[in-house]
C-alpha cells in the first residue's frame, strides 16, 4: 500500500450558492508545470483511442472527437450531492483515501485522477472550483438518501473541493468507486468558473466496458461525448522521485463552454 499523501485540512466559509473563488481553497498537492499537464493530456489521447476501439466506435468518430473540442457534456447531478452536509464535513482536501494523517486508509484500490479545466480554445482556466463526490468501494454514498444495503466506509472522505491554479490543473487521490445498484462505476463533478455557467458532469472508466454499455445515463450521451468522459488508468509515479510508488492514474480534460452562455453547460 503506497504511503498516504500529506494533507492539510481547513475550515470552509464557501457558499455553494454563491461560488466566488477564495484563497481558502488551497491544497498542499504539488502543482505540476503547465507543460507537463499538456504532455499528460497528449497521453490522454491514447486513452481515448483505446476506449473508443473497445466500445466499437468507427475511425471517423474517433478522428472527429480528437479533432474538435466541444464542451464537456453536462450530466445529471444525481440524488447524492452532499448538501447540506457539504459545509459540515471537516475534511474536503484532495486525498479522499483517508480522513486524516493518523486515520485508517479506506478500503479499495487507490487511484489518482489528474485533470485540467480549459475553454473551447484549450486555454487553461484558473480560479475554477472543482468539486468531486462518489461512492466508496462497496458502492455506497455517504448520504441519507442512499438506502442501499451495502456498507459505508467510515474511513473514506467521499468528496473533495479544489481550486485550479494558473495552469488550470487539479489532481486528487481516491478509491476506485464501487458499482452503485443500477449504475456503472463513476465519479461526479461540479465545476464552478467565474463568469461561466455551472457544469455538472460524470466521469467513467474504460475498464468497465460492459457496465458502461448497460448504464442508461452513460449511453444517453453521444458517442463522442462518451469518449471524452471515459478514462483509462495507467500506473504512474505518485511523486517526482524515480523510486516512487506508482498508482493507476487517469487524465481528465474538462472543457467549459463560452462565458455567459446558459445553454452551454446546463445539467440534464
* Spatial CA neighbour of 26 closest among 132, 113, 129: 129
The 10s digit of each residue's pLDDT in 34-80 is: 434 444 445 555 555 666 566 666 666 655 555 557 899 999 999 99
pLDDT of 32 reads 40
pLDDT of 48 reads 58
- Joined grid coordinates for residue 25: 481553497
Q: What are the structural domain ranges in the chain?
A: 34-256
pLDDT of 160 reads 94
The pLDDT-based confidence of 10 (bands split at 50, 70, 90) is: very low
CB 52 within 8 A of CB 65: yes
- Joined grid coordinates for residue 12: 470552509
The 10s digit of each residue's pLDDT in 192-213 is: 999 999 999 999 999 999 999 9
pLDDT of 54 reads 63
The 10s digit of each residue's pLDDT in 103-155 is: 999 999 999 999 999 999 999 999 999 999 999 999 999 998 999 999 999 99
pLDDT of 238 reads 86
pLDDT of 67 reads 54
Tell me the Cα Rg of the chain.
17
The 10s digit of each residue's pLDDT in 69-105 is: 789 999 999 999 987 666 667 778 999 999 988 899 9
Percent of the chain with pLDDT over 70: 68
| DSSP string over 177-203 | ----TTS-SEEEEEEE-TTS--EEEEE
Instruction: Supply the pTM of this predicted model.
Output: 0.75
Judged on CB neighbours under 10 Å (0-12, 13-18, 19+), 106 is buried
The 10s digit of each residue's pLDDT in 208-225 is: 999 999 999 999 999 999
CB 209 within 8 A of CB 218: no
Confidence check: pLDDT of 33 > 60: no
Domain 34-256, second-level architecture: Sandwich (2.60)
pLDDT of 63 reads 57
Amino acid at each position: 500500500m503506497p504511503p498516504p499523501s500529506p494533507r492539510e485540512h481547513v475550515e470552509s466559509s464557501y457558499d455553494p450558492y454563491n461560488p466566488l473563488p477564495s484563497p481558502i481553497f488551497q491544497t498542499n498537492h504539488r502543482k505540476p508545470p503547465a507543460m507537463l499537464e499538456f504532455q499528460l493530456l497528449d497521453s490522454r489521447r491514447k486513452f481515448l483511442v483505446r476506449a473508443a476501439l473497445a466500445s466499437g466506435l468507427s475511425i471517423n468518430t474517433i478522428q472527429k472527437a480528437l479533432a474538435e473540442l466541444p464542451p464537456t457534456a453536462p450530466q445529471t447531478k444525481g440524488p447524492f450531492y452532499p448538501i447540506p452536509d457539504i459545509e459540515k464535513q471537516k475534511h474536503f482536501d484532495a486525498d479522499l483515501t483517508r480522513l486524516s494523517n493518523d486515520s485508517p486508509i479506506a478500503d479499495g484500490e487507490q487511484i489518482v485522477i489528474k485533470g485540467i479545466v480549459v475553454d473551447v480554445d484549450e486555454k487553461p482556466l484558473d480560479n475554477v472550483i472543482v468539486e468531486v463526490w462518489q461512492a466508496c468501494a462497496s458502492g455506497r454514498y455517504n448520504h441519507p438518501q442512499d438506502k442501499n444495503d451495502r456498507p459505508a466506509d467510515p474511513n473514506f472522505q467521499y468528496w473533495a473541493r479544489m481550486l485550479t491554479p494558473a495552469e488550470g490543473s487539479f489532481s486528487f487521490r481516491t478509491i476506485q468507486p464501487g458499482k452503485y445498484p443500477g449504475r456503472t462505476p463513476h465519479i461526479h463533478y461540479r465545476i464552478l468558473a467565474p463568469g461561466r455557467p455551472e457544469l455538472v458532469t460524470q466521469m467513467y472508466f474504460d475498464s468497465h466496458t460492459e457496465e458502461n454499455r448497460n448504464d442508461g445515463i452513460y449511453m444517453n450521451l453521444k458517442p463522442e461525448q462518451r469518449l471524452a468522459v471515459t478514462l483509462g488508468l495507467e500506473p504512474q509515479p505518485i511523486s517526482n522521485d524515480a523510486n516512487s510508488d506508482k498508482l493507476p492514474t487517469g487524465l481528465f480534460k474538462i472543457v467549459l463552454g463560452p462565458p455567459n452562455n446558459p445553454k452551454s453547460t446546463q445539467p440534464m
